[in-house]
């Protein structure tokens, strides 16, 4: 059996109240549409996404990550609606799985169940305490007979609480036959994909309703739905990681993006945030630290540290209130209150409290290179571009503006003066 997958994503998503197209809103750092495409990709490599609203923007986003996704532009002005979305498409496969772009929690397992149905049309249903807003499904003798949209329902039909979840698996030949015939004779004057159910029934075919879980199939329509979906996604990501061997303290306080990878024995303490494509191996991230798009190997970070994008931290100790950005640290100790940006720091080096790389002059960014076994005293500033060679020392409070050659000490201080009996004179009671 050959399977094609179509993802409907042309709608405006008005209820999101956002300039960002609905399907590009992110869940755990990844656009909703990409969550769906990643799951769909496990079933078939023949995937078409239907777009219209903000066409160029969504197309560009898709193409930045996927090579083989086909894109179809819906003529939404002339053919609005889910049926209009498929007009102009022809299917050469034997089955077509139709998905919505706003169901980021859908899993490949559930889609597989649907794809395995041998009915000419399998459709997904939900039983909802409050069915309002959804198409109601008329079921007789266990088979679906019709889907009636809310706005076309009679008072009686409105009471039906079995609703259409909007995901279908259909014989391609039926779609090729039915899609051109869908009209817009309904309350919304839209072309309803749901009309294919009645068309198939009129041909004497059986439509199998498959009950699916609310968690996976409830669409995201508002920012409230987005936040709820995010919570479920976070729970899934963290549960899987813990089963895979990551230790988490108070996991409900931890946030982890969907692309993070963990190896070996990792510990995440409470309040940790992991954003972007991070890689961890035997890493201990202490409470309330933030790590973004970086690699951390055999190292401990925090508490309250900030590792910003493009950092590589290996065999290193990063303590509290240390910020690292776009830097490579190997075998380094930076225990307290530092900013290390655009730098390369080698093994055996100790960064004292309050050391700052001055990487920016207001116009451009510059590199700081620090070699092996360098001891940098507290509260020093390293004005980039600057190089500190292996086996060097910087005295506390020094502003390093020139390169420091191997075996040297850099010191820049005003000599200390002692003024005797100053205190008692200054505070003398008159």
The Cα 331–Cα 354 span in angstroms is 19
Is 317 an active-site residue?
Answer: no
Nearer to ligand UD1 by Cβ, of 84 and 302: the residue is: 84
Nearest partner of 126 among 164, 158, 89, 152, judged by Cα? 164
CB of 336 to ligand UD1, least distance (A): 50
Contacts with ligand UD1, residue ranges (CB under 6 A): 8-11, 50, 74, 76, 80-82, 84-85, 100-102, 134-135, 147, 149, 163-166, 192-194, 219
The nearest distance, CB 130 to ligand UD1, in angstroms, is 13
CB of 85 or CB of 268, closer to ligand UD1: 85
In the block, residue with structure tokens 């030949």: 173
* Active-site option among 53, 72, 288, 336: 336
Nearest-angstrom CA–CA distance, 297 and 264: 10
Give the β-pairing of 273-275 and 295-301.
unpaired
Nearer to ligand UD1, 171 or 195 (CB): 195
Tell the smallest beta-carbon distance from residue 268 to ligand UD1 (Å).
35
Q: Which two tokens stand for residue 369?
A: 């290179």
Assigned token pair, 237: 């990501």
CB of 214 to ligand UD1, least distance (A): 12
Smaller CB separation from ligand UD1, 225 or 344: 225
**Nearest 5°: phi and psi at 381?**
-115, 135
Cβ-based nearer residue to ligand UD1, 100 or 289: 100
Residue 118: CB partners within 8 Å, gap ≥ 6? none
Helix (H) or strand (E) holding 39: helix 32-40
Instruction: Give the span between the Cα atoms of 307 and 338, in whole angstroms.
Output: 12
CB nearer ligand UD1, residue 50 or residue 119 = 50
Q: Is 173 or 187 the residue whose CB approaches ligand UD1 more closely?
A: 187
Smallest separation, CB 191 to ligand UD1 (Å): 8
Which residue has the closest beta carbon to ligand UD1? 135
Supply the minimum distance, in Å, between the C-beta of residue 175 and ligand UD1. 14
| C-alpha closest to that of 233 among 26, 66, 44 | 26
What is d(CA 400, CA 155) in angstroms, rounded to the nearest whole number? 80
> Could you tell me the smallest distance in angstroms from the CB atom of residue 339 to ligand UD1?
45
Exposed / middle / buried, residue 121 (Cβ in 10 Å: 0-12, 13-18, 19+):
buried
CA atoms of 217 and 334, how far apart (whole Å):
47
Cβ contacts of 218 within 8 Å, gap of 6 or more: 103, 105, 126, 225
240-258: burial string, b at 16+ Cβ within 10 Å, e else: ebeeeebebeebeebbbbb
Q: Annotated catalytic sites, by residue?
A: 336
């Amino acid at each position: 059996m050959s399977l094609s997958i179509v993802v409907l994503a042309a709608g405006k998503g008005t209820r999101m109240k956002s300039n960002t197209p609905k399907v590009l809103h992110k869940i755990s750092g990844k656009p909703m549409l990409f969550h769906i495409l990643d799951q769909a990709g496990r079933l078939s490599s023949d995937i078409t996404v239907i777009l219209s609203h903000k066409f160029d923007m969504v197309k560009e986003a898709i193409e930045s990550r996927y090579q083989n996704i086909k894109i179809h532009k819906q003529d939404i002005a002339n053919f609005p609606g889910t049926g209009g979305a498929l007009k102009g498409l022809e299917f050469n496969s034997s089955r077509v799985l139709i998905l919505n772009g706003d169901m980021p929690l859908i899993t490949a397992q559930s889609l597989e169940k649907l794809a395995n149905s041998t009915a000419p049309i399998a459709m997904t249903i939900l039983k909802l305490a409050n069915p309002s807003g959804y198409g109601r499904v008329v079921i007789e003798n266990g088979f679906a007979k019709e889907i009636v949209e809310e706005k076309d329902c009679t008072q009686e039909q409105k009471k039906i609480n079995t609703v259409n979840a909007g995901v279908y698996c259909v014989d391609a030949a039926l779609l090729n036959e039915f899609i051109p015939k869908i009209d817009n004779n309904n309350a919304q004057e839209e072309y309803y994909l749901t009309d294919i159910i009645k068309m198939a029934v009129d041909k004497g075919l059986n439509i199998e309703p498959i009950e699916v879980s609310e968690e996976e199939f409830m669409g995201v329509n508002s920012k409230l739905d987005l936040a709820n979906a995010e919570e479920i996604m976070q729970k899934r990501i963290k549960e899987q990681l813990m089963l895979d061997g990551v230790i988490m303290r108070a996991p409900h306080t931890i946030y982890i993006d969907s692309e993070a990878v963990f190896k070996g024995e990792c510990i995440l303490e409470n309040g940790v945030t992991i954003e972007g494509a991070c890689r961890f191996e035997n890493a201990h991230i202490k409470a309330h630290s933030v790590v973004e798009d970086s690699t951390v190997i055999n190292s401990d970070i925090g508490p309250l540290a900030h590792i910003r994008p493009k950092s590589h931290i290996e065999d290193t100790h990063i303590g509290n209130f240390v910020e690292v950005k776009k830097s490579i640290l190997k075998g380094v100790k930076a225990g307290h209150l530092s900013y290390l940006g655009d730098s390369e720091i080698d093994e055996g080096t100790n960064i004292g409290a309050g050391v700052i790389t001055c990487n920016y002059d207001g116009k451009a960014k510059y590199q700081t290179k620090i070699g092996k076994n360098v001891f940098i005293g507290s509260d020093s500033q390293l004005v980039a571009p600057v190089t500190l060679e292996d086996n060097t020392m910087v005295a506390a409070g020094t502003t390093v503006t020139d390169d420091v050659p191997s075996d040297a000490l850099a010191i820049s201080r005003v000599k200390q003066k002692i003024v005797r009996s100053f205190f008692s004179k200054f505070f003398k009671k008159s």
